[in-house]
Structure 1
Amino acid sequence: MRLRKEFFSNFNLFFLNLNLSLNLSLEKEFRTRELPENVFCLFIDAYHTSIKDEEIGRVKKAVIYVVVGIDLDGRKSLYGYYTYWGVRK
């Protein structure tokens, strides 16, 4: 269980840094790019969490979906991440 908590802690920091480093135009380009032809497989994973909504000052349930692909050369790439608010388990 400890390893899982450490993984998701680093996982959240990775996406926080990714969000902060991309400006809006780069983020739009990232989200609308085409899937390469040499993708061998895609993995879609979901992480359920609680996130504080600063606008209303309450904690809300959220799900973060991550899409990772592996190409024919064995390289992993992040193809998308999506956050949905107010989701129940």
Structure 2
Amino acid sequence: MFRSFRPQDRSCVRALPRDIAQGIIVDVVTILLRRVNEMSADFIGLLPQLSIAVIVLIMTFIGAKFARRLADRLLAGVTPANILAVLGLGSV
């Protein structure tokens, strides 16, 4: 019923001349290589900012650990019930 489209007579299939087809492939490869080079140059340009961001992130992590230890030492005996009692809400 259905035949696969494989023309036996290749005259109906228009192909590009070999020189034009190779020129198109070379252009595509050139464009792709140019884009890869641009992206790699942009990535290398961003490395200083990325390293500073990682350092800030690590410092924030260390600072949060230090603040938590300090708060645990200073507020060791404080419970939610104590806080409510100090605020005068213990009788409610």
Query: Rg larger in 1 or in 2?
Result: 2
Structure having the higher helix fraction is: 2
Greater share of residues in strand: 1
> Normalised by the size of structure 1, how large is the TM-score?
0.24
Structure 2 length normalisation: TM-score?
0.23
